[in-house]
């Protein structure tokens, strides 16, 4: 029972991480400290997609499921949970690269917007963290 609950928790953490990697840059529009967490997360997400790596959360979930007497799965998290919802066909290498490129485009757009507005996350005097825009 505990192992299954932990496996389900890993799935939720995994999904939250994917959401943060994909759209977390939008949080940087509000809080200046977010890029310090978000950019490394994006880097990891891009590496996983571009190079076909397996996220360590996937084998952890599988191990917990087997420990609970359940069957694990041989595919990755994206193939198991995300793609059946987003794509009806199986994940291909090409679609993984497209997902990685989309990840780069979405986040580059957000950070370019921040730069265009004159917002620098490392500038402690910036009032934009309160949603007021760049300091004048």
| pLDDT at residue 40, rounded to an integer | 95
Within 10 Å of residue 65's Cβ, how many Cβ atoms? Answer: 20
Residue the block writes with tokens 């939008």: 26
pLDDT tens-place string over residues 24-79: 988 988 888 899 999 999 999 989 888 888 888 888 988 998 898 877 666 666 66
Band of pLDDT at residue 128, cut at 50, 70 and 90: very low
Assessment of whether the complete model's pTM goes beyond 0.75: no
Q: Which residues contact 73 (CB under 8 A, 6 or more apart)?
A: 62, 80
- Does 129 have pLDDT greater than 50? no
How buried is residue 119: exposed, middle or buried, by Cβ count under 10 Å (0-12/13-18/19+)? buried
User: Which has more confidence, 112 or 93?
Assistant: 112
CA torsion sign, 101 to 103 to 109 to 114? Answer: negative
| pLDDT at residue 44, rounded to an integer | 93
């Amino acid at each position: 029972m505990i192992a299954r609950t932990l496996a389900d928790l890993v799935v939720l953490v995994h999904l939250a991480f994917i959401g943060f990697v994909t759209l977390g840059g939008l949080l940087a529009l509000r809080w200046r400290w977010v890029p310090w967490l978000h950019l490394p997360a994006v880097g990891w997400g891009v590496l996983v997609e571009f190079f076909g790596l397996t996220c360590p959360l996937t084998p952890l979930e599988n191990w917990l499921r087997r420990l609970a007497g359940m069957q694990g799965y041989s595919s990755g998290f994206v193939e198991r949970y995300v793609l059946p919802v987003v794509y009806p066909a199986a994940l291909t290498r090409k679609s993984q690269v497209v997902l990685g490129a989309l990840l780069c485009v979405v986040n580059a757009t957000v950070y370019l917007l921040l730069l265009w507005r004159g917002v620098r996350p490392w500038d402690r005097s910036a009032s934009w963290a309160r949603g007021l825009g760049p300091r004048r």
